[in-house]
Structure 1
Amino acid sequence: MYKKVITSAVVLIFVSLALVLNSCKNDTKTPSEKEVLKTVYASDVIPFFDQWKLILGDGSNAGVATNFENKDFFYAENEQSRDWVVFKAPNGGDTHGTSNNTRTELAQAKKWYPKTANDKLSATLKVMNVSATGDARVAASYSVVIGQIHSADGHENEPLKIFYKKFPGHTKGSVFWHYEINTAGDDNSGRWDYSTAVWGDDFSVVGTEENTYPKEPTDGIALGEEFSYKIEVKDGIMNLTFTSQEHETKTFSKNLIESEYTTTADIPNQTQKLFVPIGQDGLERKIAYAGEGCFFKLGCYNQTNGKSPEINKNWCSGAETHGGNIPKQYADGNYAEVWFKTANISVSADAVSNDGYFAKND
């Protein structure tokens, strides 16, 4: 009986050893047989990058961003089996062109003319971070621009900037859009923006002290909450549509080729409050942006910077920049980050190359 038990045990040991060795053999693959993890690029997620040029958060021009990534500023991220395109920009660092602010942003490679345009840009996104520091009295603090129309000609002003802004300690932030006048004459120093609220407040709602914040908007958008915008420009008219699952759809319309700000009496109260006291009290040319080539921009244009509010109380935030040290800014929340889920663009047949703009701003 003992002999049978010992024999059975020996057989069992040999069978187990054979199974283990066979399993190891099956798991051992030659390099050619091993699965290679494929890099997912932003252009795999939103396949329209051949129509844009990419500016990174260190001020460099990355050009056409097909099959391109930069882990500091621009890359694809997978969340719950869904791929997103990530744009990040610190509060401080090298900037592009004449701007005070860093950006990781796409600029359309072609320009079109508002009077004859039939152009569209749409996107679905979520803002993941805005600066943790800034002066609450400065209107641009804690905000990021996520979509634009920019002029490539004349003063190179901006008929559209779409913002997201959230104060520290608030759960919900605001979405609003700006129209910047296309200043009459050669002097552009008097230009100003007019802000319109979508969900939450507009640009003009600020704190009473450096670290005192206004009341949180009841109908705002939280960090990480998806929303969408659609921009359509046709026959000189810009139409905007904003949608969110938890919010009322909002629509707006603005004439881009016929100004409503040509006399001092036309300057709105909001501008009288924000811009006129600092000398930005210009008037717009009667034909606004008619005759100027315009183009779309999309991404993360951080509006919070480290410059002193004494320079400009609307645009200079006095935020933490760690002397331009990007890893330190990322570590303590002093940056903007935007994730795009989808985006689409359609371009007029008469659109032309926008290379002149990039040549001036490299």
Structure 2
Amino acid sequence: MNKKSITSLATFLILCISPLLNSCLNTTKEPDKKEATKSVYASDIIPFFNHWNLILGDGSNAGKAIDFKHDDFFYTANDGKRNWVVYKAPNAGDTHGTSNNTRTELAQVKKWSPETDAKLTATLKVMNVSTTGDARVAASYAVVVGQIHSADGHENEPLKIFYKKFPSHTKGSVFWHYEINTAGDNNSGRWDYSTAVWGNDFSVVGTEENTYPEEPEDGIALGEEFSYEIEVKDGMMNLKFICEGHETKSFTKNLIVSDYTTTADIPEQTQNLFVPIGQDGVERENAYADEGLFFKLGSYNQTNGKSPEVNKNWCSGAETHGGDIQKQYKDGNYAEVWFKTASIYVSDAAVSNEGYFTKND
């Protein structure tokens, strides 16, 4: 082969091979577009969802929320610093069990005795509470962000952790409730006792429908981060609340020996709030000792559209737009809570909580 032929062949090979080389190089440099747009799920942020069933704001049970999201109720958001898990619930919609209130909330799949060990921790910030409601109703403008619930008997709640903020206020209140495990078969006399953490307790209400009490000086603003720790051990419930710039608060409550076994034991707060509407029961002596308990965590909206004439403590008369969720979201008639971290521990003695879901789903 002469020199001219060799040069021609080399030129031909270069022209043929170059596109292939460029194709290979481009393939290795091209980012994986599918990977770049991958959703961030709640279970990527807080990997503990195998312990829970997720109840959504439409009353449905979504099961274990691993690699799961719902655009209306449960998804993730980034505040410019990190990712958070968002729980959102309107003032009205389909509800879970016998409750009057909507929730997007985790419910633990196991239950446990209060005489064994159990612990739940969480760091969160409340981003919205309802913009409407009757200020004279104690539950208006409030959301429950953590609970201990009974799976048995009356299915009452030895713990509810609340955040509440009146519409004209910058700061809201954090408080916790103990609900008695009512003696006897009739649970209509049950009542809550409220304890303030930062700000006011449940009993501080407005004098008129749209007249609000004084804003709490040591309250918590929307978007302000705080943490709670719930630990149950040997029948005692130990609570700890932490927020930067605020005093850390700790509380203890016996879950297996009642403080409220006679009418003389009913505290003044209850005498003022609940007794006038016929909720004047007493508690069984061993409180919750004979029942299985379980944790809940999320956004359990305490504001609803029911008339205050039905119950002046729990029926808010708030705007619901006939249950239209998007209209409620548009004008602020919903509760929204963001969680940054959370953890759960229960002893090996915990058993399936399937019966609770069978009864309430």
- TM-score, normalising length from structure 1? 0.91
Quote the offset at 1:81 in angstroms: 3.4
- SS of corresponding position for 1:247: coil
Q: Which amino acid aligns with 1:354?
A: N
- Whole-Å separation in 1 of the counterparts to 2:56 and 2:191: 26
Q: Structure 1's 38 and 281: CA in aligned 2 closer, same or farther, altered over 3 A?
A: same
Instruction: Name the structure 1 match of 2:139.
Output: 140
- SS of corresponding position for 1:174: strand
- Whole-Å separation in 1 of the counterparts to 2:305 and 2:287: 32
Name stretches of at least 5 consecutive residues in structure 2 with no aligned partner: 1-21
Instruction: Name the structure 1 match of 2:217.
Output: 218
Q: Structure 1's 79 and 260: CA in aligned 2 closer, same or farther, altered over 3 A?
A: same
- Whole-Å separation in 1 of the counterparts to 2:33 and 2:159: 52
Instruction: Name the structure 2 match of 1:86.
Output: 86
Name stretches of at least 5 consecutive residues in structure 1 with no aligned partner: 1-21
Instruction: Name the structure 1 match of 2:119.
Output: 120
Instruction: Name the structure 2 match of 1:51.
Output: 51
How does 1:283-362 map onto structure 2 within 5 Å?
Answer: 283-362=282-361
Quote the offset at 1:41 in angstroms: 0.3
- Whole-Å separation in 2 of the counterparts to 1:144 and 1:95: 15
Instruction: Name the structure 2 match of 1:227.
Output: 226
1:77 and 2:87 matched: no
Instruction: Name the structure 1 match of 2:130.
Output: 131
Q: Structure 1's 50 and 277: CA in aligned 2 closer, same or farther, altered over 3 A?
A: same
- Whole-Å separation in 1 of the counterparts to 2:261 and 2:228: 29
- SS of corresponding position for 1:61: coil
1:38 and 2:34 matched: no
Instruction: Name the structure 1 match of 2:281.
Output: 282
Quote the offset at 1:76 in angstroms: 1.1
Quote the offset at 1:317 in angstroms: 0.1
Q: Which amino acid aligns with 2:98?
A: T
Instruction: Name the structure 2 match of 1:99.
Output: 99
Q: Which amino acid aligns with 1:126?
A: K
Q: Give the number of aligned pairs.
A: 338
- TM-score, normalising length from structure 2? 0.91
Q: Which amino acid aligns with 1:59?
A: G
Q: Which amino acid aligns with 1:37?
A: T
- Whole-Å separation in 2 of the counterparts to 1:35 and 1:57: 30
- SS of corresponding position for 2:307: coil
Instruction: Name the structure 2 match of 1:9.
Output: none
Give per-residue Cα distances to partners, 1:71-123, cap 9 Å, x unaligned: 100011112130100000000010001000000000000000002x1100000
Q: Which amino acid aligns with 2:101?
A: N
Quote the offset at 1:349 in angstroms: 1.2
Instruction: Name the structure 2 match of 1:249.
Output: 248
Q: Give runs of ≥4 in structure 1 deviating > 2 Å.
A: 29-36
- SS of corresponding position for 2:356: helix
- Whole-Å separation in 2 of the counterparts to 1:298 and 1:314: 23
- SS of corresponding position for 1:163: strand
Give per-residue Cα distances to partners, 1:159-180, cap 9 Å, x unaligned: 0000000000100000000000
- Whole-Å separation in 2 of the counterparts to 1:51 and 1:271: 35
- Whole-Å separation in 2 of the counterparts to 1:286 and 1:78: 48
Instruction: Name the structure 1 match of 2:149.
Output: 150
Q: Name whichever of 281-290 and 35-44 sits farther off.
A: 35-44
Q: Which amino acid aligns with 1:352?
A: V
Quote the offset at 1:36 in angstroms: 3.6
Quote the offset at 1:34 in angstroms: 6.8
- Whole-Å separation in 1 of the counterparts to 2:31 and 2:103: 41
Quote the offset at 1:31 in angstroms: 9.3
Name the % identity.
79
